[in-house]
Amino acid sequence: MWTNIVNFSKSFAEVKEVVKSGRKAFDFERLTPMPTEFKGYHFFSKRKGESEKQSESRFYENRQKYGAEAGCSWMNKFWGTSSNCFEVEVLLNGFKFKTTWGTPDIVIKKLSEIFKDVEITVQYAEKSSNPDQCGTYTYLNGEKTQEDQDGDMELARQILGFFYED
């Protein structure tokens, strides 16, 4: 489980309007919508009444049409994580949310392409027994301008809100 804190240097009110979907404060689908074919079918599995050959054919067709065989691989390819964000909190100048399998670097890049003059800084950490999966990166004008993946234990503590034993 990854916790991400995303801060915007300005224009946060505009950003909130772009990423909001219904009751959800931040929805990756507002930036890159998931194909309907994958909704409810995130993993590589046969659907009810489908033969093995039909499944393989569907995976092949999905790969040709959408660039991925199933929802999970599509999300990882187009969002950088295997799920939409969840447990979203709106902060003063950004969001705090959780994702699976990683930080949503591709979503943040897309936001930076839309809001070109806004510096977007992401702090992230994975909840594990060792805070080696944490760091910071910054985007401006669709380009990553800074990245630090030093596994800083203090940063992990701040992001996750609990303490690791040194």
Contact predicate 71/34, CB 8 Å: yes
Residues 92 and 10 in one domain: yes
Q: Tens of pLDDT along 96-137?
A: 999 988 899 999 999 999 999 999 999 998 876 555 678 899
What's the CATH code of the domain at 109?
A: 3.30.70.1270
* Domain interval for residue 61: 36-78
Residues 52 and 126 in one domain: no
DSSP strands (E only) in 20-103? 86-90, 94-99
Tell me what pLDDT residue 26 has: 97
Q: Taking the chain, what is the end-to-end CA distance rounded to the nearest angstrom? A: 21
Tell me what pLDDT residue 107 has: 96
Number of domains in the chain: 2
Query: Computed from CA positions of residues 35, 41, 45, 46, in that sequence, does the dihedral angle turn out positive or negative?
Result: negative
Residues 65 and 116 in one domain: no
**Encoding tokens for residue 22?**
């219904």
Residues 52 and 112 in one domain: no
Instruction: Judge whether 21 lies within some domain.
Output: yes
Tell me what pLDDT residue 166 has: 46
Q: What is the mean pLDDT of the chain?
A: 86
Residues 71 and 153 in one domain: no
The set of residues, in sequence order, having a beta carbon less than 8 Å from that of 13 and lying 6+ positions away, is: none
Tell me what pLDDT residue 96 has: 94
Half-sphere exposure of 42 (CA within 13 A, CB side): 9
Share of the chain above pLDDT 70, in %: 88
Instruction: Judge whether 166 lies within some domain.
Output: no
pTM here is 0.84
Instruction: Judge whether 83 lies within some domain.
Output: no
Q: Tens of pLDDT along 70-104?
A: 888 899 999 999 889 999 999 999 999 999 888 99
What span, in angstroms and rounded, lies between the C-alpha atoms of 122 and 155?
Answer: 12
Q: What would the mean pLDDT of 43-50 be, rounded to a whole number?
A: 68
* 7-33 burial code (b ≥16 CB/10 A, e <16): bbeeebeebeeebeeeeeebbbeebee
Residues 71 and 149 in one domain: no
Longest pairwise C-alpha distance within the chain? 53
Q: What would the mean pLDDT of 153-162 be, rounded to a whole number?
A: 75
